[in-house]
Structure 1
């Protein structure tokens, strides 16, 4: 019996709510707001959009797209100023960075997928987080949300037997077992 009275009370509130709601009188609205929505011009829609946007609170820094975020301050005290890579590593901290990794030996796409997946899991075991995308039969992109980790990953990649080349910021780093590294010696 107590459920039926609660249901009746809810139904009464639902039925009376449109009657009790205050509706603004049409004289207080601007002329463009009194039109039917289907009759709005582009200017009316723009005004409505501007009105909508002014009510919105600004987004927090971590919710903004990367190009609008304020960069964290660069701490040069931890960088070795004689090493340009160290300066790049510090300057890319907290920014997205991509590196291209080439697998040696003429592998198929499946072999590249398998090798780079193994490298990705090895990096993750070392707390270096990267997304991996295969772009050709012997090439993959590793995308780092924290660009400073790209140079740590590069140090790992160049030690791998099947790594031909790692490219970060358009600078090639050749693998230890690469044919290019033997030519440089």
Structure 2
């Protein structure tokens, strides 16, 4: 890869890891000269302003230009598309439904506390049963023990968080499930749901 990259960069034998900002800018200009697809003039102006940087709050880049490419950049850097939903769909929905829509396709962390002060081994055994139940129900979840009585569940699709929460709070040894700093108390909790409200 380095050989073809250096050969393409004007025959320079310089290692790409040692490139300065000026070298990268020159390389970018060469790529732009050889590029068959040109940006429209208004987008070229916006790109030029973004390259020069913003000197003051009055020179902020046009958000129309940024929002046009926001999903492309999001998909390139994170490898997935940002969920799209209409704000009118949110009217009259409860907070859990709104969170399901907003977390769709995004990773989410959920903490689960086990009741009755278990040892680390007990926590492993109890939560392993829950974990297999979730995996058998085809939820894409990872489990990490973070304390003697606490685990972290990492969900690949955050919209499934409340379905998983509903399963966990029905378990006898589940004391608390925390999603986005909001606690939900399970069967093993001494607190009741009315104390949460």
TM-score (norm 2): 0.61
Structure 2 counterpart of 1:9:
none
Q: Distance in 2 between matches of 1:48 and 1:85?
A: 50
- Tell which structure's C-alpha radius of gyration is larger: 1
Give the conservation status (yes or no) of the 8 Å contact 2:168–2:177: yes
Structure 2 counterpart of 1:121:
132
Give the conservation status (yes or no) of the 8 Å contact 1:103–1:164: yes
Which residue, 152, 157, 171 being the options, matches 2:168? Answer: 157
Of stretches 79-88 and 100-109 in structure 1, the one that deviates more from structure 2 is: 79-88
1:37 paired to 2:14: yes
Number of corresponding residues: 153
- Map 1:101-140; keep pairs closer than 5 Å: 101-140=112-151
Q: Distance in 2 between matches of 1:51 and 1:114?
A: 59
In structure 2, list runs of 5 or more residues that go unmatched.
1-6, 35-71
In 2 relative to 1, CA 46–127 (structure 1 residues): closer, same or farther, beyond 3 Å? same
Give the conservation status (yes or no) of the 8 Å contact 2:174–2:188: yes
SS at match of 1:179: coil
Q: Distance in 2 between matches of 1:163 and 1:61?
A: 40
Q: Distance in 2 between matches of 1:138 and 1:169?
A: 19
In structure 1, list runs of 5 or more residues that go unmatched.
1-23
SS at match of 1:176: coil
TM-score (norm 1): 0.64
SS at match of 1:74: coil
Which residue, 14, 17, 24 being the options, matches 1:46? Answer: 24
Give the conservation status (yes or no) of the 8 Å contact 1:98–1:143: yes
SS at match of 1:37: coil
In 2 relative to 1, CA 125–154 (structure 1 residues): closer, same or farther, beyond 3 Å? same
